[in-house]
Structure 1
Amino acid sequence: MEDGEKKATKPDSQAPPPPPPLSAVHVNRPLVAANRAMAAVHAALVAAVIAHRAMALLSDSAGSASSWSRHVVMALADLTLLFLWALSQSGLWRPVTRAAFPDRLLAAVPRVDVLVVTADPDKEPPLGVMNTVVSAMALDYPGGALSVYLSDDAGSPLTLLAARKAYAFARAWVPFCRRHSVQCPWPDRYFAGDDAHDGGGGDRREEIAEERTRVKKLYDKLKADIEAAKKDESISGSWTKAKRQDHDAYVEIITAKEDADVDDEEEELPALVYVAREKRRAWPHHFKAGALNALLRVSGVVSNAAYVLVLDCDMACNSRASAMDAMCFLLDGSPPAPENLAFVQFPQMFHNLSHNDIYTNELRYIFGTRWFGMDGVRGPFLSGTGFYVRRDALYGATPPPRSTDFSSMDAGELKTRFGHSDRLVASLRSNSGGDQRHRRRLPHVPPEPESLALVASCAYEAGTAWGTGVGFMYQSVVEDYFTGYQRFFSRGWTSTYCYPEPRPAFLGSVPTNLNDVLVQNKRWMSGMLVVGVSRRHSPLACRPLLRASLLQAMGYAYFGFAALYAVPMLCYATLPQLCLLRGVPLFPCPAAAAAAFASSLLQHLAEVCVARRGRLDLRMWWNEQRFWVLNALTGQLFGCVSAAQELLGARAMDFDLTSKAADGRLYQDGVFDFTGCSTLLLPATTLSVLNAAAIMAGTWKMTSWGGFQFAGELLPQLFLMCYGAALSYPLLEGMFLRWDAARVPPRITALSVALAAVLLAVFG
């Protein structure tokens, strides 16, 4: 009888099979082994160089002060390089790749709010901004579950007008993309025919030709309307540059006009909300982080989506699939998907890269190499744009099993943290905890304009936790870097790197002028160094981060201290040159130094080959070598100076916006464009002149009568200087061999020659 009962109950006792995983991860074990082997060899070679330097110091302790100081300076340079190299290895320790399976997602998906930020209609043309907005509205996601928010920090009537017209165009563009499965939702790229991989309907190309022509006419009308508005004095004249820092808050939920020349028979269109937060000169606005926090509050009041996609205004959606791909990771409950996943980071890729990327704008070092390695630790860093993040994690929640439940807090506590908006507090209390899929839809009756203007006012954050315990953090101009480990990783959250191939999820625009590139790097280096050396916020002093993962703390510390490359580069750009002129050998063991140098070059070449899927790309390797040196003597050097001034209170935190409106013809031709270069370039040009002069004078001395006795000991220095001269050739060419308008400014050339002459006269 018992056996019969067991047989009868056996089918009922079987648990249903688990749902298939939404994502998968693969550890690249051969690459892991190769990276660790190369790291061990290089570490041994550098240790030998430093050991010989230490022995030279001990044996020369009774020698002259100048000889002893040379060895001390070079030892400092080598130790700094070793320190930074050791930190950088965390990004190579365990590279992984991931795959998403969006076809396995259930029908119900959570709401997503897209946050787009723009700050200057001159440097960030409105047409490009609207392409980003419209491409986000056309994502392959239910229209009722998607909302797009545009932050216009300038409060420009031109941007507002462009947003209204872009929404009217989107009423035709979004249904067109849905009906014909258009892969590229970026109108400008789609209609220009630049996207060779976009099927645009596959076998139905002939069927959609007529509709495509109609939609293209609407897009041409959008472009013409925006251009006409730029020339309309009644629009452009009503906005002045002085009003950028002094204007009222304005929020508009843009809706369709009855007379719009588009079809209105498709499913629900994503909402578009224009936000110009209030700005006053007496109130700090905290740059991009402040704009994002204002968007978080406005979106919390209007749609309150569980997840947020952040995009720069020049980072348009190149694929409609990114939202579904991101949800595969964020909603995957099967191992090894973690419950504490805070955000999914997509790579930053660019549409206007030249074949010969002389400024290394591709950022291969980060998005093509290091982020795969950090994904194998606890996830890549927050990278400014192109990431889907949990709203509650941004609000300061902690991950399971001790999740923060805002609904359990009383209204007074919530208002202390989040401000005194009743609607924002209500959204927190009604949607905290539980299944992230279930969030309220965009209400049919929009919030009152007063409640929207309140959360976008400049005084709203006073006395709250915004910028410190809630939202994006304010202590650095690189809000993504700082927010990433303070808001997420140190609290127990993790992240995932999604690298879709062959179609990039997002495509942005790179600066095509050298000065803009260097200014951008200076801002990054300065902001990260301020965090890196901070006693309170340094990754190497963050105990929760260190306890969670030493490797991740090392990865964050590497970028925090990357500006310090300027120190060894200054040493290697001055001491070998001046010592060669005096006939003083600088390397105690030339063989060990040469082996370490070769090991460094080969390790870099191996990274490039892996990023190029096994292809030997010497051009990329050389461009990265050249720009690494140039950036160390410009962006990183001035980043150190700027960080020191900020830490000493001698300079306020500043945000240098780079232009997205340059034509970039010289960059596309592989020619350095020095237009607008200022004193930021002066150290590099001066040291290039010094190096070239030292090579000529040193070679003459070595080959002159009686000079051959020093040749053997000085050849390593001469080789290093010749390598530096090859790297700095574009600077020398721009100073002495070019006469076009984009050459190095003559005042910079004259000042560089004068400073190099002074150095030679005093120390040579």
Structure 2
Amino acid sequence: MIIVIRLVIVCLFFHYRVMHPVHDAFVLWLISVICEIWFAMSWILDQFPKWFPIERETYLDRLTLRFDKEGQPSQLAPVDFFVSTVDPAKEPPLVTANTILSILAVDYPVDKLSCYVSDDGAAMLTFEGLSETSEFAKKWVPFCKKYSIEPRAPEWYFQQKIDYLKDKVVPNFVRDRRAMKREYEEFKIRINALVAKAQKVPEEGWTMQDGTPWPGNNVRDHPGMIQVFLGQSGGLDVEGNELPRLVYVSREKRPGYNHHKKAGAMNALVRVSAVLTNAPYMLNLDCDHYVNNSKAVKEAMCFMMDPLVGKKVCYVQFPQRFDSIDRHDRYANKNVVFFDINMKGLDGIQGPIYVGTGCVFRRQALYGYDAPKTKKPPSRTCNCWPKWCVCCFCFGNRKNKKKVTKPKTEKKKRLFFKKEENQSPAYALSEIDEAAAGAETQKAGIVNQQKLEKKFGQSAVFVASTLLENGGTLRCDSPASLLKEAIHVIGCGYEDKTDWGKEIGWIYGSVTEDILTGFKMHCHGWRSIYCIPKRPAFKGSAPLNLSDRLNQVLRWALGSIEIFFSNHCPLWYGYGGGLKFLERFSYINSIVYPWTSIPLLAYCTLPAICLLTGKFITPEVTILPVSGTCHFSSAFLLRVFWK
């Protein structure tokens, strides 16, 4: 209601401004009106998506009761974590190590959890730091799960200024905590020693422990590298329990290839994970964002595995929360209006936009498929029966007047097929499933295989993994052959003449690839979910000085301008698809806001020009009562605020 009242006032204001031009300063008046119209349109674009805010609540006990009963094998879906890093000089290895440790210790079944770390800088420091982290995880993970501590990033856990004995009734907790703190201090010493060693680069380049040269000595020209540190009995913790899989990935880089920065690295992780584990869900984190809530994955699964609406959810976005922010938040790192108001409003339309980190994806949505069609309730095929009665099931189709007797098994098969047809996704998922099951003829199967290879790339193992909607790997392949195939899919030329970065995975074309990626999925009819747990799911490091903050804002603005001039601009892309009208408004606002700086600069310059020229952008007020009222009102307000 308040928005409507403000909109009416804005309309009355523009009616007055347009109907009362200033003829002796027409140019100044025209510039001011154009700027005011732009400000009004920006305000409208920002207000409309806020009309339907939603606050969601999860019930983890119900999720556990249905999918994770005690004493029975867990039915929770597997999840692959993605962590991306580039330069250890700008992204300290100790911060990255804390992120990985918090992931390995989350409250989730170990056999359904994998962590992939992308090292786009091919740094030996990152590799050795990950090796040290995997060894320390064997002690840290069982400690976290035994005492249910929060958060499970050791640096932030030991920095807490709280009573850590609260709610801890286990008598050995104090002793184990002190021992673990000593272990962590020793771990920090080893990591810092690696950092100090990396400052002095040998002339001949780095060498590994066996004396062979480090493959990533040339950052711009090196082969792909994969190393599995943990998982599949590759390393048990100190209590003899299995640990989640931990995989180091550095994609191949060669001169003359466009590697597409973070978006290309994330797409490489999508392919590697599909070959090795192929979890149906993926969670991406920046290397400086740790898991602050160990149940965050289960919070997301409450929406992803929902039997009613879960199939249409492409991703679950968590808000960004930060540590080390001063009390007054002088650089506006919290973004309260965006994360606590705008995103809730978008959740009531088609879902929040993807913000680049702290997001759980559905793998099939990243593969460019359309969202499954909503299952409609049974409808009448004639006007003589109630709505709950479907004539084609009771008496056959109305068009078939002759009763045809069919075998019982054939009838069941026909009805089952019809049900599956109604539930099939729009982007040929039913055809893919039939081809995988062998229902298609051999010729059609070959044609489908060729289409899939043209779309996903020349990897039979990866293409086969895309047919498995519920995830899982091919049992016929040995671990050695899977690793060989994983090296193949991170090759620098793998994406040539495919849909990667265009229709599949993280979308290329902007430094803010997160906006494009979420926009494409919404155009395919998917919806997203905004989840705000009581305990923040993830926390990161915010810019601590003005220059870093300005560089961050500049990067976002440049990314929005790149999208504005691209083929994926929300102003003209995606019409006729699944993108809702108000959701389009939010995307338009996200790419238009940098242009507001131009009319804002012009409007701020107008008062100085008016004072220098003696001309004004508004007509002179000739009505004495109005001018007197304005004068006394201004004087009264000035006196009140002055006191």
- TM-score range (shorter-chain normalised) is 0.7 to 0.9
Structure 2: distance between partners of 1:259 and 1:333: 35
| 2:321 match: secondary structure | coil
State the Cα distance separating 1:265 from its structure 2 match.
Answer: 2.8
Is 1:147 matched with 2:114? yes
State the Cα distance separating 1:172 from its structure 2 match.
Answer: 1.3
TM-score normalized by structure 1?
0.67
Aligned equivalent of 2:311: 339
Is 1:464 matched with 2:436? no
Does the aligned pair in 2 maintain the 1:157–1:236 contact within 8 Å? no
Q: 1:79 to 1:326 in 2, by over 3 A?
A: same
Does the aligned pair in 1 maintain the 2:230–2:244 contact within 8 Å? no
Does the aligned pair in 1 maintain the 2:323–2:539 contact within 8 Å? yes
Is 1:202 matched with 2:167? yes
State the Cα distance separating 1:499 from its structure 2 match.
Answer: 0.5
Q: Which amino acid aligns with 1:118?
A: T
Structure 1: distance between partners of 2:79 and 2:358: 13
Deviations 1:680-739 (A, max 9, x none): xxxxxxxxxxxxxxxxxxxxxxxxxxxxx9xx99x99xx99xx9xxxxxxxxxxxxxxxx
Aligned equivalent of 1:359: 331
Structure 2: distance between partners of 1:318 and 1:263: 22
Q: 1:379 to 1:218 in 2, by over 3 A?
A: same
Unaligned residue ranges in structure 1 (runs of 5+): 1-36, 592-708, 724-764
State the Cα distance separating 1:447 from its structure 2 match.
Answer: 4.4
Is 1:71 matched with 2:29? yes
Is 1:557 matched with 2:588? yes
| 2:175 match: secondary structure | helix
State the Cα distance separating 1:359 from its structure 2 match.
Answer: 0.8
Question: Equivalent of 1:86, from 33, 44, 47?
Answer: 44
Aligned equivalent of 2:519: 485
Structure 1: distance between partners of 2:546 and 2:48: 30
Is 1:221 matched with 2:176? no
State the Cα distance separating 1:426 from its structure 2 match.
Answer: 2.6
State the Cα distance separating 1:361 from its structure 2 match.
Answer: 0.7
Aligned equivalent of 1:537: 568
Aligned equivalent of 1:40: 4
Does the aligned pair in 2 maintain the 1:180–1:201 contact within 8 Å? no
Q: Alignment length, in residue pairs?
A: 546
Aligned-pair Cα RMSD in Å: 3.1
Structure 2: distance between partners of 1:174 and 1:226: 18
Question: Equivalent of 2:466, from 402, 411, 428?
Answer: 428
Structure 2: distance between partners of 1:515 and 1:154: 24
Q: Which amino acid aligns with 2:494?
A: Y
State the Cα distance separating 1:581 from its structure 2 match.
Answer: 3.2
Q: Which amino acid aligns with 1:364?
A: V
Q: Which has the higher contact order (CA 8 A, sep 6+)?
A: 2
Q: Which amino acid aligns with 2:526?
A: W
Aligned equivalent of 1:494: 527
Deviations 1:404-450 (A, max 9, x none): 43443633222111111222123223x13xxx377779998354543
Q: Percent identity?
A: 34
Q: 1:257 to 1:137 in 2, by over 3 A?
A: closer
Moved more, 408-417 or 337-346: 408-417
Q: Which amino acid aligns with 1:505?
A: A
State the Cα distance separating 1:384 from its structure 2 match.
Answer: 0.4
Is 1:527 matched with 2:559? yes
Query: 1:134-173 residue pairs with structure 2 within 5 A?
Result: 134-173=101-140
Structure 1: distance between partners of 2:293 and 2:136: 19
Deviations 1:374-409 (A, max 9, x none): 000110011100011101110112221342434436
Q: Which amino acid aligns with 1:564?
A: W
Does the aligned pair in 1 maintain the 2:88–2:126 contact within 8 Å? yes
Is 1:412 matched with 2:450? yes
Q: 1:54 to 1:234 in 2, by over 3 A?
A: closer
TM-score normalized by structure 2?
0.79
Aligned equivalent of 2:371: 399
Does the aligned pair in 2 maintain the 1:251–1:275 contact within 8 Å? yes
Unaligned residue ranges in structure 2 (runs of 5+): 69-74, 207-213, 374-423, 436-444
Aligned equivalent of 1:746: none
Q: Which amino acid aligns with 2:185?
A: D
Is 1:386 matched with 2:358? yes
Query: 1:665-684 residue pairs with structure 2 within 5 A?
Result: none
More helix by share: 1
Structure 1: distance between partners of 2:2 and 2:77: 45
Q: 1:289 to 1:437 in 2, by over 3 A?
A: closer
Q: 1:206 to 1:398 in 2, by over 3 A?
A: same
Aligned equivalent of 1:246: 221
Structure 1: distance between partners of 2:218 and 2:256: 13
Question: Equivalent of 2:241, from 258, 261, 267?
Answer: 267
Query: 1:497-508 residue pairs with structure 2 within 5 A?
Result: 497-501=530-534, 503-508=535-540
Query: 1:563-578 residue pairs with structure 2 within 5 A?
Result: 563-578=594-609
Q: Which amino acid aligns with 2:14?
A: I
Does the aligned pair in 1 maintain the 2:226–2:248 contact within 8 Å? yes
Does the aligned pair in 1 maintain the 2:125–2:198 contact within 8 Å? no
Structure 2: distance between partners of 1:449 and 1:89: 50
| 1:539 match: secondary structure | coil
Aligned equivalent of 2:442: none
Does the aligned pair in 2 maintain the 1:149–1:274 contact within 8 Å? yes
Structure 2: distance between partners of 1:204 and 1:96: 39
Q: Which amino acid aligns with 1:192?
A: Q
Structure 1: distance between partners of 2:621 and 2:46: 26
Does the aligned pair in 2 maintain the 1:306–1:392 contact within 8 Å? yes
Question: Equivalent of 1:292, from 259, 266, 273?
Answer: 266
State the Cα distance separating 1:248 from its structure 2 match.
Answer: 2.1
